[in-house]
Amino acid sequence: MAERLQKLIAKAGLASRRQAEKWIEEGRVSVNGHPAKLGDRADLSHDQVQVDGKDLAKAEAKLTILLNKPRGYVSTLKDPEGRRLVTDLLTDVPTRLFPVGRLDYNTEGLLLLTNDGDLAYRISHPSHNVDKTYLVKVRGLLSAKMVQRLEQGIHLDEGVTAPAKVDNIRSVGSGCWFELTIHEGRNRQVRRMCEVLGLTVVRLKRIRLDSLDLVGVSTGRYRVLSADEVRKLEKT
């Protein structure tokens, strides 16, 4: 049965549907020797689909893992600056996985990697409102007015953020810790929200994503999600 090219690429575990659409627009995908266009369909039983000149393989068995990312790693599959990749922590995983969203180089914590493009799309697309909770340490104190601004939305260059939730504030000397829950995924969003308030983030760790947390997973280690956990994510 013919399916959209971005879905086939996602099923093959090469990228999310959104990333696959970019590849098609960039001319990196062909069908039967001809450049592909958005909206094109193919059936791998009789069509030749290529990405960067290499034949697209049929779908692998789906695998999703939860990694406790350390600081000092980038959440991409390659880096022009030669920095360490999160996939360097998965050398014993034979399946090719890609990160679901990103954590900044200096941000640590919960990061999903998968070869399930449909799941990646569902988690990362803003319309599904998947909660992401961060443990934040800032230089400066979080006032009641700042909390109110975070919970109402912060004005960034590209628009106002969706309302956030602030919990478990505790002061430590001239700084403080708190938990911040958001469901968007803008570039460096938590850091930028704090910067608008005049707060400097000195440590940032994602501790929860939807119903998942880091319990039992030490820094730099990972675990495979169960079928039940994947099903819950698929229903978000």
Residues with active-site annotation: 104
Alpha carbon 38 to chain centroid distance?
23
Consecutive H or E run containing 88: none
Q: How many residues belong to the chain?
A: 236
Evaluate whether 134 touches 108 at the Cβ level (below 8 Å).
Answer: no
Evaluate whether 108 touches 71 at the Cβ level (below 8 Å).
Answer: yes
Evaluate whether 43 touches 32 at the Cβ level (below 8 Å).
Answer: no
Reduce the DSSP state of residue 58 to 3 states and report it. Answer: coil
Evaluate whether 49 touches 31 at the Cβ level (below 8 Å).
Answer: yes
Contacts (Cβ under 8 Å, ≥6 apart) of 48: 31, 32, 33, 55
Rounded Cα–Cα distance for residues 11 and 60 (Å) = 7
Phi, psi of 222 (to 5 degrees): -150, 170
